[in-house]
Amino acid sequence: MINPSTLMFSLTLISGTLISITSSSWLGMWMGLEMNLLSFIPLINKNKTPYENESTMMYFLVQAMASVLFLAAVLLNELTTFSMNNQSIFLISMALLMKMGAAPFHFWFPGVMEGIDWINCFILMTWQKIAPFILISYKLVNNLIIVAIIMSTLVGSIGGLNQNSIRKIMAYSSISHLGWMLSAMMISNNLWLIYFIIYLMMNISVIYLFHTQSLYNISQVYYNKNKPTIKFSMMIGMLSLAGLPPFLGFLPKWMVIQNMVLEDYLLMVVFIVMMTLMTLYFYMRVMFSSFMFINQELKWVLSKSPSEYMNMSIMISIIGIPMLSWLLLY
């Protein structure tokens, strides 16, 4: 049974994003972002644990700072001129990058992720990024976006190397993917949408497994007596997030690389690909320990439990080999 308050705040969370992306004025967009923020805070803090309180406060302060910056830029623009000037667009872009957690405004993101449960982590990594992404696409400031892309891929790859918390690893993974999504947005909104939908699918599959198995730390994966099917599903999900061929996560990265090369962003492509290769190390750290003693565990026998069938269906859905084979033949 869903708690009525959770249902109400979930609906207002969705409404806030929809108001923001359908509004024709900057003030309307700001109102939608505020509505979204004030709906997400009760969802984070539903269990009232000290970790959740800390994450809630951190999230609120950062989002409030970004909202003030956004509103100040809009009001400054209204006072000076009727058409958007460069300073206002720059400030609005900075505020939106802070709201989505892109580097160099990423400082709050891993800390907030560490204190909340997996369902809220999923919302923070996916739904909460939709409105800032769509608003930033209206007025792209190329220089700022290029800096954000380079910083996000750099911070996302280096930040996750020494982490033991799976939630922090997923946070730095999200920052790295943000760099790729901003790169896709520089080329076209359709490419960003394809990347975002595939990223959403990969996140659903991985976070579903972490949530059902209550995994929060790398040591839990090592000691957890999971069945090989679950471990294999988790490994495929991780490799897909890393963008390793022939898994589904490779497809959007391939499309971005191809289009960026055509647009002559050669140096940037080389840099973000090299940085993303570093992320493969910390994805593998999560899985390597769980496979060390797999030869001493149970054989690959599926029981009748629906959760195992669900795990297997998720695993198959994100492999993506038929899709890539079809593209290569085409």
Residues of the domain holding 319: 4-329
Q: What is the pLDDT of residue 78?
A: 73
Distance CA 149, CA 175 (A): 10
pLDDT tens digits, 2-60: 788 899 999 999 999 999 999 988 889 999 999 999 999 999 988 888 899 999 999 99
Q: What is the pLDDT of residue 238?
A: 86
Q: What is the pLDDT of residue 31?
A: 94
How many domains in the chain? 1
List the one residue out of 246, 151, 258 whose CA is nearest residue 194.
Answer: 258
Q: What is the pLDDT of residue 244?
A: 84
Low-confidence ranges of the chain (pLDDT < 50): 329-330
Return the number of other C-beta atoms located less than 10 Å from residue 59's C-beta.
Answer: 25
Q: What is the pLDDT of residue 307?
A: 62
pLDDT tens digits, 97-127: 999 999 889 999 999 999 999 999 999 999 9
Task: Please give the distance of CA 153 from its chain centroid, rounded to a whole number.
Answer: 13
Distance CA 113, CA 117 (A): 8
Q: What is the pLDDT of residue 100?
A: 93
188-211: b or e for each residue (b if 16 or more CB lie within 10 Å)? eeebbebbbebbbbbbbbbbbbbe
Q: What is the pLDDT of residue 183?
A: 95
159-178: b or e for each residue (b if 16 or more CB lie within 10 Å)? bbeebeebbbbbbbbbbbbb
Per DSSP, the residues of 160-227 read TTT--BHHHHHHHHHHHHHHHHHHHHHH-HHHHHHHHHHHHHHHHHHHHHHHHHT--BHHHHHH----
